[in-house]
Amino acid sequence: MSDLNSEIDSIIRKTEQKLVSDTVESLISAAKLTLKDAKTCIYWRLGTNYLSTLDFYPALALVGPAGSGKNTTMKALRLMPGDSSGMVDCGGLTPAASRDELALFLDKTFFADEFDNIRPEVERIFMSRTTRDMSTQVYKRLVGPGKYEQKAHSIFGATVLHKRNLIDEPALASRSIQIFTRHQEGPYGRFECDVLNLSALKFDMSGVVLEGGRIESTWSPILEIARQLEDTEYIEEISKGMAVETRLLRQKAEYDYSSVVLARVIELLLSKPTLSRWYKIDIELDIGKPIRVDYPNIAPITVNSILNQLGFLTDRRGGRRWLYPEIEAIKVAAQRANYDDAGIAELDEEFQFR
């Protein structure tokens, strides 16, 4: 009986592999992607059906010049099973509009067209969408003359980004998988997929984890799909690329001012582990001046801007700018700056407010 069950399982697996393989080949014909990139797109899309069970899902960025197949790939992915938005032009999105729009697609897929034209403050909102515990957006909305109400939206979900240029925001880049499209000679095919049978595919995503390095956790959902399809060649190829990405990310972090500023905050707090609950840090005197000994090009206003981008509470009083440190804010900042250091754990153990 067990032999019969094994034979049935093998037949089912081969049927599933053929179904996915046909979908991959159709995307290659329509968009002229490489085999690896087409598999990445299809595996990524298959994984989006399990967003409600996941705490992290990478953005999929299609990057390349006009006419290189980005729109074709986006339209193909929209035809596959899974709830999704239409293709939304991001150029005119305000922070409020993006929060409302993304909240409609909680645990669903959002197709962000013309992402190069997006505002920096909106880009940061999209970045927070990739991680569930960072995805809650709290803000005040005007409801009447002098009256406001506080709104909170969770915007977690999967996002396809249409871009002409490489992602230059380090935190978003490290939470994204980038597919580079190029002009290719025709003939072009038409993308077709068996929606009914693709919808019937089942995957166990309990093996997807956030632990490990940034690159490992970013690729984890896609590699989990590949493992269950027994695509060992793809896994080996991606694993080699991940090793290169990890090395480049570490090299880039050495020149990332966000990490420099955060490191100075942690260093300062570790030197004063017992603080009053109302303790505040002079941003220019205690953070800016020491940093400029090694990084003279960092202007005072840049330091304050970086602290705000990282999520710290800052204020201006008496002609000075002040930072109010909280351990949870430091942890969030470390995630946003892709900062990994023993000092974080040390702070968690020793830093106390009296």
| pLDDT score for 320 | 87
Exposure pattern of 138-171 as b/e (b: 16+ CB <10 Å)? eeeeeeeeeeeeeeebebbbbbbbbbbeebeebb
Is 214 domain-assigned? Answer: no
Asked whether residue 193 falls in the same domain as residue 272, the answer is: no
At which of 200, 215, 238 does a domain end?
Answer: 200
Residue 83, φ and ψ in degrees, nearest 5: -70, 135
Q: Give the CATH number, domain containing residue 319.
A: 1.10.10
Is 17 domain-assigned? Answer: yes
Asked whether residue 163 falls in the same domain as residue 265, the answer is: no
Indicate yes or no: pTM above 0.85. no
Asked whether residue 31 falls in the same domain as residue 161, the answer is: yes
Nearest Cα residue to 25 out of 13, 15, 39: 39
Asked whether residue 38 falls in the same domain as residue 173, the answer is: yes
> Per-residue pLDDT for 9 more than 90?
no
Which segment, 155-159, 178-182, 319-323, is predicted with the most confidence on average?
155-159
Q: H or E segment at 30?
A: helix 2-31
Query: What does the alpha-carbon distance between residue 156 and residue 158 come to, in Å, rounded to a whole number?
Result: 7
Alpha helices for 175-231 (secondary structure H): 195-200, 214-228
pLDDT per position as a tens digit, 169-180: 767 787 899 999
Is 241 domain-assigned? Answer: no
Q: Please report which confidence band the pLDDT of residue 354 belongs to, taking 50, 70 and 90 as the band edges.
A: very low
> Per-residue pLDDT for 344 more than 70?
no
Residue 233, φ and ψ in degrees, nearest 5: -65, -45
Query: Containing domain of residue 287, as a range?
Result: 257-353
Asked whether residue 167 falls in the same domain as residue 268, the answer is: no
Number of domains the chain contains: 2
Q: How many CA atoms lie within 13 A of 9 on its CB side?
A: 8
Is 240 domain-assigned? Answer: no
CB atoms near residue 342 (< 10 Å): 8
Asked whether residue 191 falls in the same domain as residue 285, the answer is: no
Query: What does the alpha-carbon distance between residue 135 and residue 283 come to, in Å, rounded to a whole number?
Result: 27
Asked whether residue 327 falls in the same domain as residue 189, the answer is: no
At which of 134, 167, 200 does a domain end?
Answer: 200
How far is CA 105 from each of CA 78, 101, 102, rounded to the nearest angstrom? 14, 7, 5
Is 60 domain-assigned? Answer: yes
Residue of 204 and 133 predicted with greater confidence: 204
Q: Please report which confidence band the pLDDT of residue 345 belongs to, taking 50, 70 and 90 as the band edges.
A: low
pLDDT per position as a tens digit, 227-276: 999 999 999 999 888 877 776 665 555 556 787 888 888 878 777 656 55
Is 338 domain-assigned? Answer: yes
pLDDT per position as a tens digit, 203-213: 999 989 876 67
Which residue's structure tokens are 């093998």?
A: 10
Q: Please report which confidence band the pLDDT of residue 191 belongs to, taking 50, 70 and 90 as the band edges.
A: very high
At which of 156, 182, 200 does a domain end?
Answer: 200
Residue of 112 and 7 predicted with greater confidence: 112
- The mean pLDDT of the chain is 84
Q: Please give the average per-residue pLDDT across 134-160, as a whole number.
A: 81
Asked whether residue 183 falls in the same domain as residue 52, the answer is: yes
Query: What does the alpha-carbon distance between residue 316 and residue 322 come to, in Å, rounded to a whole number?
Result: 6
Residue 205: DSSP 8-state: G
Which segment, 108-112, 254-258, 262-266, 314-318, is predicted with the most confidence on average?
108-112
**Least confident span in 114-128, 139-153, 222-236, 315-329:** 139-153
Q: Please give the average per-residue pLDDT across 180-190, as a whole number.
A: 89
Q: H or E segment at 343?
A: helix 342-350
Q: Give the CATH number, domain containing residue 61.
A: 3.40.50.300
Asked whether residue 191 falls in the same domain as residue 288, the answer is: no
Residue of 35 and 96 predicted with greater confidence: 35
Asked whether residue 191 falls in the same domain as residue 305, the answer is: no
Q: Please give the average per-residue pLDDT across 56-62, as a whole number.
A: 96
Asked whether residue 39 falls in the same domain as residue 128, the answer is: yes
Exposure pattern of 2-36 as b/e (b: 16+ CB <10 Å)? eeeeeeeeeeeeeebeebbeebbebbbbbbbbeee
**Least confident span in 17-21, 27-31, 192-196, 331-335:** 331-335
Q: Please report which confidence band the pLDDT of residue 167 belongs to, taking 50, 70 and 90 as the band edges.
A: confident
Nearest Cα residue to 323 out of 288, 353, 280: 280
Is 37 domain-assigned? Answer: yes
Asked whether residue 154 falls in the same domain as residue 274, the answer is: no
Is 48 domain-assigned? Answer: yes
> Per-residue pLDDT for 311 more than 50?
yes
